[in-house]
């Protein structure tokens, strides 16, 4: 057996009428009280596969139900994704609207949709804030991991490629699961959620939701390390999705998640690169010591509380809009790319992923790459941001991508192609930033002056850098920081040196 979501809330005016203890949970969940599709019918969000309830998945201390979607003809050895719904939602809602079944079909993996209910929480919220339910070997966390073991048995899933994602309270439980079971999950995505073990009691939950706890990255990292004492890595790769206009889960939670997981990885909070994505989204990447993305923060300008979707037929489009499924860009697509799930043929067929993908050089308009050879490969396909960029066969183990924009970040993966033309699994991604472009500028001032100058903002008496939302401490004249503007309107703390 393996060792061994979603919070939303009522408007602030309503929350103030309640007691602090009730607010801690209900301010987190009532925002999804009108979420669509709460009926039992199983909607058709994908084709060719099977969506059904799975009973008898093992010990179930969390009193959860297990649903799964399995594409037709899925071979053994394919990845597995666990997707956690939000308060007042069901597994069926997340199956229908999140976009994950589309990529299960396209790339070849199974998806497990755990479901909680009113028997656990009046608004069907996963208990991200309850230490008796969200810790290793306990409650809902253990039930989810039992589902993983069942799926591996039923579908032959690759135990080294299991991933978990969730929205709001589902995102909170996702972060907890990543900390509790880093030996089970290779990666995760926290959508409009909050840091692992941010709260361990219901009464403490509102403090996480509504502002900063003013913890250092090391203190946040300690919450991860303390969830599975003695574990030393490798840590899961974590994608963080946060809207800057979220009034239910304040945007600072995205920054604190970034602090937590970069510290767990031991890589610091200086980004390896930033780049712009559709819908006013800024992607900030933090690489591991091998130069591969370990933590990614997707900050969506103006987006409120919900999951980012983008209905349409394009490869990078997914989902359905509705209550707390917000039309911006397809978060599931970008998360699948980050996890390395994308293959052109799907199903885990073909050759293994190339190793050793490395950026060997950059200019203002090009990026050069190299990788290790794969036995049986006759050529290689190169992908930038998920789209293939080589127009002809790449027969060697190197490639230069040209015609790029100066001072811009890009992400690459590579896949081997065999003699039958079958494209194998994609490599882990690497990031590269072309030279030139925006010239970083640094500003040293107290927190009050940084805010007045438009480089930071304050919330609840604390100060946060614009763009990155990094916590700067109290909003006063006595705390001083150096901020580096790495892109127009995007600031990071650079106290250790500028450029950072």
Partnered with residue 322 across adjacent β-strands are: 325
Do 126 and 84 contact (CB within 8 A), yes or no? yes
CA–CA dist 80, 66 (Å, integer) = 14
Question: What values do phi and psi take at 140, rounded to 5?
Answer: -65, -40
CA–CA dist 109, 116 (Å, integer) = 23
Q: Where are the alpha helices (DSSP H) in 245-322?
A: 252-265
- Give 357-413 as a DSSP string: -EEEEE-SSEEEEE----TT-SEEEEEETTEE--SS-B-SSEEEEESPPTT-EEEEE
Q: Among residues 168, 227, 331, 332, which one is catalytic?
A: 168
Do 26 and 10 contact (CB within 8 A), yes or no? yes
Non-local (6+) Cβ contacts of 197 within 8 A are 131, 134, 175, 176, 179, 223, 224, 226, 227
CA–CA dist 339, 161 (Å, integer) = 9
Report the candidate in 131, 245, 224 with the shortest Cα–Cα distance to residue 181.
Answer: 224
Whether 168 sits among the annotated catalytic residues: the reply is: yes
CA atoms within 13 A on the CB side of 159: 15
Partnered with residue 416 across adjacent β-strands are: 380
Angle among Cα 112, 116, 122 to the nearest 5 degrees reads 160
CA distances from 226 to 17, 179, 196, 197, 493 (A): 36, 8, 10, 10, 27
DSSP 202: G
Retrieve residue 320's tokens: 């359905």
Do 8 and 188 contact (CB within 8 A), yes or no? no
Non-local (6+) Cβ contacts of 107 within 8 A are 336, 341, 342, 343, 346
Q: 323 in helix, strand or coil?
A: coil
Question: What values do phi and psi take at 155, rounded to 5?
Answer: -110, 0
Active site (catalytic) residues: 168
């Amino acid at each position: 057996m393996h060792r061994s979501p979603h919070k939303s809330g009522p408007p602030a005016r309503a929350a103030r009428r309640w007691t602090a203890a009730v607010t801690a949970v209900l301010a987190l969940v009532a925002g999804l009280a009108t979420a669509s599709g709460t009926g039992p019918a199983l909607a058709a969000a994908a084709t060719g596969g099977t969506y059904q309830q799975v009973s008898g998945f093992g010990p179930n201390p969390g009193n959860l139900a297990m649903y799964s979607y399995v594409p037709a003809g899925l071979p053994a050895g394919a990845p597995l994704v666990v997707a956690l719904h939000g308060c007042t939602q069901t597994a069926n809602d997340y199956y229908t609207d999140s976009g994950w079944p589309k990529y299960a079909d396209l790339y070849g993996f199974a998806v497990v949709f755990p479901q909680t209910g009113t028997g656990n929480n009046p608004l069907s919220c996963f208990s991200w804030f309850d230490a008796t339910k969200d810790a290793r070997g306990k409650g809902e966390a253990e039930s989810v991991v039992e589902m993983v073991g069942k799926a591996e048995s039923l579908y032959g899933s690759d135990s080294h490629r299991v991933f978990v994602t969730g929205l709001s309270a589902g995102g909170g439980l996702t972060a907890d699961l990543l900390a509790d079971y880093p030996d089970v999950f290779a990666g995760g995505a926290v959508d409009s959620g909050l840091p692992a073990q941010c709260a361990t009691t219901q009464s403490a939950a509102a403090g996480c939701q509504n502002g900063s706890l003013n913890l250092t990255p090391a203190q946040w990292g300690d919450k991860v390390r303390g969830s599975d004492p003695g574990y030393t890595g490798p840590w899961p790769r974590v994608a963080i999705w946060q809207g800057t206009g979220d009034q239910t889960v304040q945007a600072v939670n995205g920054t604190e998640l970034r602090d937590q997981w970069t510290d767990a990885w031991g890589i610091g909070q200086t980004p390896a690169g930033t780049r712009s994505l559709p819908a006013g989204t800024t992607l900030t990447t933090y690489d591991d010591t091998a130069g591969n993305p370990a933590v990614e923060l997707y900050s969506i300008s103006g987006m409120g509380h919900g999951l980012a979707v983008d209905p349409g037929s394009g490869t990078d489009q997914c989902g359905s809009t509705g209550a707390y499924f917000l039309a911006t860009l397809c978060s599931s697509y970008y998360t699948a790319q980050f996890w390395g799930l994308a293959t052109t043929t799907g199903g885990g067929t073909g050759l293994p992923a190339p190793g050793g993908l490395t950026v060997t050089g950059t200019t203002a308009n090009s990026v050069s790459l190299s990788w290790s050879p794969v036995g049986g490969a006759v050529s290689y396909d190169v992908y930038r941001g998920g789209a293939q960029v080589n127009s002809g066969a790449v027969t060697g183990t190197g490639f230069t991508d040209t015609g790029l924009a100066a001072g811009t970040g890009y992400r690459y993966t590579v896949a081997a192609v065999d003699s039958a033309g079958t494209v194998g699994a994609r490599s882990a991604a690497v990031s590269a930033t072309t030279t030139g472009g925006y010239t970083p500028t640094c500003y040293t001032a107290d927190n009050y002056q940084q805010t007045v100058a438009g480089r930071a903002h304050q919330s609840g008496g604390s100060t946060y850098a614009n763009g990155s939302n990094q916590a700067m401490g109290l909003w006063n004249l006595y705390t001083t920081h150096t901020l580096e503007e790495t892109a127009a309107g995007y600031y990071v703390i650079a106290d250790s040196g500028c450029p950072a």
